[in-house]
């Protein structure tokens, strides 16, 4: 036994990803005395600028957007009581197919071995007991999410550590409810075309393939406030429109697939630290 606290490391692509996918577990485990480490891989420069301006639009200054998003990220970390924030500061690659994918210095263009070596150093420093990141498709195909997955899995191979490793996911049943609520709160939202609907139906996993269901409902207010800290990003407005109570009902359960484990804890489980305490 050592005096080192049990440690959760979450590896995310952009400022605001920490709140959407893992805000509940980060807040919950901080409250339970765990050390929480957030690694954010990109600077978020391809996010919205003033007035919702997009990359390439007049008024969109990538450097200013990156600075603004760093400030929002720090505010979110304060809300979630994250112990340590580490930023790799690669340039945001934008959505799949954007010209920014090919920009020198973008995360998508960074050799996996390079990013993994930097992340491995952080892993050796913090020695996490649990590591959380995305699946091989970055949950929905975003290049920076895919790259975060790649460098995380490669970094683990570079160390002598054997943490429990999880990939974020959503149960298909929740994805259906999410779609219904989106239409309720955005009445002018057009119905997706059949190809888009088919692609959306493949996001997440069947409920019985999810190994880990963590109830973070008591911390959903913190998760809501962490998301609100990223006020510059228009895609968050929908969630905030729900209000805290409805948000908590929809987003209070966070779900994962356990892909590495040496504890022998049985699944399904309701605790990322099952078998470790």
Predicted local confidence at residue 136, as pLDDT: 94
Determine, yes or no, domain membership for 182: no
Beta carbons within 10 angstroms of residue 2's beta carbon: 5
Predicted local confidence at residue 1, as pLDDT: 45
Strand order across the beta sheet in which 35-42 lies = 84-90, 35-42, 7-12, 130-133, 164-169, 253-260, 212-215
Asked if 216 contacts 27 with a C-beta cutoff of 8 angstroms, the reply is yes
Q: Is the dihedral of CA 219, 187, 170, 139 positive or negative?
A: negative
Predicted local confidence at residue 215, as pLDDT: 97
d(CA 63, CA 152): 26
Q: What is the CATH number of the domain that holds 71?
A: 3.40.50.10320
Predicted local confidence at residue 177, as pLDDT: 72
Predicted local confidence at residue 119, as pLDDT: 98
Predicted local confidence at residue 243, as pLDDT: 85
Q: Which segments in the chain show pLDDT lower than 70?
A: 1-2, 179-202, 235-237
Determine, yes or no, domain membership for 83: yes
Predicted local confidence at residue 190, as pLDDT: 59
d(CA 115, CA 40): 12
Determine, yes or no, domain membership for 183: no
Determine, yes or no, domain membership for 199: no
pTM for this model (two decimals)? 0.92
Determine, yes or no, domain membership for 188: no
Count of domains for the chain: 1
Determine, yes or no, domain membership for 102: yes
Determine, yes or no, domain membership for 2: no
Domain hosting residue 88, numbered range = 7-172+206-260
Q: Which residues contact residue 268 at a Cβ distance below 8 angstroms, ignoring those fewer than 6 apart?
A: 210, 211, 212, 213
Predicted local confidence at residue 222, as pLDDT: 97
Determine, yes or no, domain membership for 70: yes
Q: Which residues contact residue 260 at a Cβ distance below 8 angstroms, ignoring those fewer than 6 apart?
A: 156, 162, 163, 164, 165
């Amino acid at each position: 036994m050592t005096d080192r606290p049990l440690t959760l490391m979450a590896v995310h692509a952009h400022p605001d990803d920490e709140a959407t996918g893992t805000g509940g577990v980060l807040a919950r485990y901080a409250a339970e005395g765990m050390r929480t480490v957030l690694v954010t891989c990109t600077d978020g420069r391809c996010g919205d600028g003033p007035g919702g301006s997009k990359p390439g639009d007049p008024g969109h200054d990538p450097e200013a957007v990156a600075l603004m998003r760093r400030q929002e990220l720090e505010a979110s970390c304060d809300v979630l009581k994250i112990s340590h924030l580490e930023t790799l500061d690669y340039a945001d690659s934008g959505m799949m197919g954007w010209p920014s994918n090919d920009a020198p210095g973008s995360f998508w263009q960074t050799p996996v071995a390079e990013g993994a070596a930097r992340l491995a150093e952080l892993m050796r420093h913090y020695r996490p007991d649990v590591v959380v990141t995305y699946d091989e498709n970055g949950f929905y195909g975003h290049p920076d999410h895919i790259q975060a997955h790649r460098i995380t899995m490669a970094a683990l191979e570079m160390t002598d550590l054997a943490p429990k490793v999880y990939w974020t996911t959503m149960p298909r049943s929740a994805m259906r409810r999410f779609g219904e609520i989106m239409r309720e709160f955005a009445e002018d939202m057009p119905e997706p075309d059949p190809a888009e609907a088919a692609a959306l139906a493949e996001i997440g996993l069947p409920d019985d393939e999810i190994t880990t269901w963590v109830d973070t409902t008591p911390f959903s207010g913190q998760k809501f406030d962490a998301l609100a800290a990223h006020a510059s990003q228009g895609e968050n407005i929908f969630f905030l429109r729900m209000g805290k109570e409805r948000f908590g009902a929809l987003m209070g359960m966070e779900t994962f697939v356990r892909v590495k484990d040496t504890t022998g804890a049985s699944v399904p489980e309701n605790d990322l630290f099952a078998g470790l305490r």
